[in-house]
Chains A and B, each alone.
Chain A
Amino acid sequence: MSLELEILVPDGVVLHTQVRSLQAADATGRFGVLPNHEAFLTLLVPCVLLFQEEDGRERYAAADGGLLTVAHRRAALVTREAVVADDLEQVGDVLAAMLQARQAHEHSARTEFAEMQTALLRELRKGERAR
């Protein structure tokens, strides 16, 4: 018997797998979810999630809060940020690396946008003068 677990972030699916159990935390503290849990809905706090895959392997995830929906043997977490790690010690590092990479990406995107803007303005001015 298993529970379908899905973790969704704005730009994609972080995880989609079958699990035997799931552990997360909301405002009331840590809680567990097993297959056939009755339907429920909760707001997670930023936390470490634990889940046991069907082969018995335990894996971990970090999520920046989010909305957890459990219904019909399916648990879906919709959150802003999430990463998955195979090791409890790794979770923090994987998360830090992901956030850093995203920040660097955003920075380069901003620079690129500014460059494009200047290029566009330059072309427009050139056009004005030619007219």
Chain B
Amino acid sequence: MTPHPSDDESFVREVRRQAELVRQGRRLGVWHSLALAGAIGWMVSLPAVLGALLGRWLDASFDTGIFWTLLLLGLGLTLGCASAWRYAQRELKG
């Protein structure tokens, strides 16, 4: 709980702080959150799908079973997750 301000100055400071908090909460509204979730979804799925497609093509070309498909799928997924994580961290903080 916030202590009761003993003087005008701390009262004003507390009010300014809360106004800023409310303003920040606004910025991260419903649409903003949805956009964030959408962007993260694409960030994870696109590299994985592209990796898998490239792997399938490589496997077909070199006749290596599913070696390249699995490898590039895993690599794409890892990269996608990593970049999405970084993006979310930055968005939520800023």
Name A's B-contacting residues (CB within 8 A): 25, 27, 45-48, 50, 60, 62, 64-65, 81, 88-89, 91-92, 95-96, 99, 103
**In the complex with contacts A89-B23, A96-B12, A65-B4 CB distance below 8 A:** yes
Number of A-B contacts (CB under 8 A): 47
A96's closest neighbor in chain B, by CB?
Answer: B12
Whether A47 lies near B1 (C-beta < 8 A) is: no
Whether B22 lies near A45 (C-beta < 8 A) is: no
Q: Which of B13-21, B44-52, B65-73, B74-82 contacts A (4 or more CB under 8 A)?
A: B13-21
Q: Which A residues are in CB contact (< 8 Å) with B23?
A: 88-89
**In the complex with contacts A46-B11, A99-B11, A89-B19 CB distance below 8 A:** yes
Whether B4 lies near A92 (C-beta < 8 A) is: no
**A-B contact sample (15 more), CB < 8 A, given A64-B5, A95-B12:** A27-B1, A45-B2, A45-B4, A47-B15, A48-B19, A48-B22, A81-B11, A88-B22, A89-B19, A92-B15, A95-B11, A95-B15, A99-B8, A99-B11, A103-B8
Max chain B CB contacts within 10 Å: which of A50, A60, A62, A89? A62
- B interface, size bucket: 10 to 19
Whether A46 lies near B19 (C-beta < 8 A) is: no
B10's closest neighbor in chain A, by CB?
Answer: A46
Whether A46 lies near B15 (C-beta < 8 A) is: yes
Whether A92 lies near B5 (C-beta < 8 A) is: no
Nearest CB of chain B from residue A83's CB, rounded to whole Å: 9
Whether A92 lies near B16 (C-beta < 8 A) is: yes
Q: Which B residues are in CB contact (< 8 Å) with A91?
A: 15-16, 19
A62 to B18, CA, bound (A): 10
Whether A88 lies near B11 (C-beta < 8 A) is: no
A95 to B15, CA, bound (A): 8
Nearest CB of chain B from residue A13's CB, rounded to whole Å: 20
